[in-house]
Structure 1
Amino acid sequence: MGAHISIPMYERTVGQRLAFEGERCTDCGTIAFPPKGACPDCRNDEFETVDLSGEGTIYSYTVLSPGGAPPEFAGQAQAEGRYVVAIVDLDEGPRITAQVTDVDPTEVAVGMPVSGRIRRIYEEEGIVRYGFKFVPATE
């Protein structure tokens, strides 16, 4: 059984899943992505929506083999073999975790520039879930 995200929850988070939509704290200016209930720096709870570029660099990464894949990614791991999951420092400041694709896992490196893309993440109960993945940035 895979991770379950209800349809209402999925619909409420479309901006952060499909548009790199974050939020900026109205007190201290910290940018959060995905949006939080309170500012991670000053605990303020008022924000303004900001569009993020989706550009960043790899802070750290790991390569998962088919046996290490979460259940919702088992089909992908079986079809593609190993795949990369990275912690990415977005240019605007937030640090997020996402899959890196369209690259040989042996070519991924810390500090590598990457660019976010909206891609198919997995399918659950006949519903395709989309979200962001990263690809090597083109110079």
Structure 2
Amino acid sequence: MGAHISIPMYQRAVAQRYRLAGQKCKKCGKINFPPKAVCKYCQASNEFEYVQLSGKGTVYSNTVIAGGGAPPEFAEEAKCKGSYPVAIVELEEGPRVIAQLVNPPEEGYAIGMPVEVVFRKIYEEEGVIRYGFKFRVATQP
């Protein structure tokens, strides 16, 4: 196993992983996700208002990860399932996130396709199941 994330560090990220909690910069008004200590857009502010992100977005870019290219935390999944789709998703609120895509449509995922967040098991470490967000084709536009 590669990139170890301690249980306390994982617990600090629960709001962003389970609720898509972002932060709106009080200076420039842009949404930071995942949350940062300083605004990644204006670098001038560390004052934020927490916002609930909708979980809706569009595929900005996508690829398929094959077994040999899987990060260590997904090695087991790659062994079981083979390849899997991953995308950069542009959220309605502006931020772009990298996430795994699930339940691909027959024609596959395409740039511009509307997607929505789902929460699924990511991997298990130290006997703790780590959940997080993935995306699927949006059921409603």
1:66: which partner in 2? 67
2:14: which partner in 1? 14
Unaligned runs of 5+ in 2: none
Aligned residues of 2:22 and 2:52 also touching (Cα < 8 A): yes
Q: After superposition, where does 1:35-46 map in structure 2 within 5 Å?
A: 35-43=35-43, 44-46=45-47
Q: CA 1:113 to 1:37, structure 2 compared with 1: closer, same or farther past 3 Å?
A: same
Q: How far apart are residue 63 of structure 1 and its match? A: 0.3
Q: How far apart are residue 127 of structure 1 and its match? A: 1.2
Q: After superposition, where does 1:76-115 map in structure 2 within 5 Å?
A: 76-104=77-105, 107-115=108-116
Q: 1:15 aligns to what SS in structure 2? A: helix
Q: TM-score, normalised by structure 2?
A: 0.94
Distance in 1 of aligned mates of 2:86 and 2:13:
21
The code of the aligned residue for 1:22 comes to G
The code of the aligned residue for 2:10 comes to Y
Distance in 2 of aligned mates of 1:93 and 1:75:
32
Aligned residues of 1:84 and 1:105 also touching (Cα < 8 A): no
The code of the aligned residue for 1:76 comes to E
Across the aligned residues of Structure 1 and Structure 2, the Cα RMSD in angstroms comes to 1.3
1:129: which partner in 2? 130
The code of the aligned residue for 1:49 comes to Y
Structure 1, residues 46-96: CA drift from partner, whole Å, max 9, x if none? 101000001000000110111111121111112111101100000000011
Distance in 2 of aligned mates of 1:2 and 1:106:
33
Q: How far apart are residue 104 of structure 1 and its match? A: 4.9
The code of the aligned residue for 2:46 comes to D
Aligned residues of 1:115 and 1:137 also touching (Cα < 8 A): yes
Distance in 2 of aligned mates of 1:81 and 1:89:
26
Distance in 2 of aligned mates of 1:105 and 1:16:
30
Distance in 2 of aligned mates of 1:86 and 1:105:
17
Q: TM-score, normalised by structure 1?
A: 0.95
Structure 1, residues 77-133: CA drift from partner, whole Å, max 9, x if none? 121111011000000000110000111585110111110111100011211101100
Q: Percent identity?
A: 58
Report runs of 4+ in structure 1 exceeding 6 Å deviation.
none
Q: How far apart are residue 138 of structure 1 and its match? A: 1.0
Q: How far apart are residue 2 of structure 1 and its match? A: 2.5
